Chain A
């Protein structure tokens, strides 16, 4: 982005407002024409898909959600549906709405700047580009029958054999008893949040200073820490799955994480 070039521009004291009519209205008009031209050409050249009639008795393999939900479907690989499909999307929406209230940095209001908002922008890019968009790309182009990974140029082999060697984390640590597995798993999940919150606190204090933490306040800190750590749980679980074949961390009769 052009942050560095833009931030040099010092606001002038003169009133540099211009009339909406004709300046903005003209711009909107031209942009509308441009969009219409592109869209019409696109619509003439590429047909919208229309497959065979709906048949509830024939499930295609793979069944993919609309592309904009494939990030969520991709998360199903790592989390159970109640978590990947309900809890995390809710937290994404609520978390997005929280942004204006937890970001108290007065700088960068109405102009591009990277230097003054390094951590805010990097967090957004981590959540949006690195996690959301790349998962959509994986789900759209790299997932085939059985939701197995395929290269886009590879033939989709419906009989591809993938060893199901995933085990739960407590099992990996030698727990064979159901109750103690749950207790251990619960401790790991709680421990993850406690340790991460502590690390987050120390990290913020180092990069932003004690004075910032006081201004930020307990509530803002807690909400930000919870949302940020929950977001990081996704790559953490992905790493555990890909590196150690971990299926669940916490197993209970009602839900698994």
Chain B
């Protein structure tokens, strides 16, 4: 049998030499004869009706090749998870009648150089009639808020409900039995992933009728699927080349540049590069969303949580991207790694007239953890208890069931906290120092030690 000896040793990176010599090939390190450049005309306002788009001035710019509007897009629906039927289909590749965030793509210019494309894009005249904007998740749910979606609401519907719901035990009964009610409002901010290499793709028409697409996407097959559907070519006509990504952190999971680059390559017959400027990366690429979370915990005198109610609002921005999925993940995590016997969670995916938010490092879970741990500290502080002990007291163990009815099989919180305590030189009381995620077999019920 082959001996496997890598664990515990340092193994040299396969791409290490390429990185330190600068010879690793990122998307725009590739050059092709006749490479054209694409730049997008974006909405200058957060919410407006589009009355007219006039590209005639742009056409006069030296180096101009072509302009694309929604009329050039065979199937103007961009839905990341469309292939696996996760909709609804609500985002256009290029806006048709309405724009819903500042920076939304309206048209695209292809030119000989990036500079010419940018100059021509600046000469496209877009006639807009502004509509009221809404930037706050709770305001967006008010009856008089401007409606962003064709279906008449500003929220994503989960199985007929206006939010992702979790119901477990009897939260009202839990509150009655509690000695204390601890409430807090938590708010996180959007965070830009800010990869050092901006989002980019080059689409190159091949002589056999196929397209080779070089991309720095983090999600090669989401991109291939969407591009094929949007451009209306069989999947077999596209070859995507990726894997070299100059930083992503979730910011390159959405399908952003490949469909337009491929469409432009198809229309012009030239290889076309669409690479975000740094401004675009910061202003229109999808950041980590902002979340607002209201927590209400029922707690006993000795710090045991007996009921938790959470109402939370994810700011999806103008379009879904991955946020409906993130909200589901969030709903499974607002209880935290703690044993919550009675729970009621209402988690909303809300649309506002802001740039769409999407994935970033544990998205949906990260804001939940922020609120959960803030809440644990608050419980300890208000009851005059030790912050470590409140966490040990409530820590879930294997065999416990979470509010979304998942039996815990891989708990590590107790051991993680024990290691952390050791690292910071914190002495734990014996009952917590010897506690385990594995409940003792001969103890019944909820006995923890």
Say whether A associates with B: no
| Residues of A near any B CB (own CB < 8 A) | none
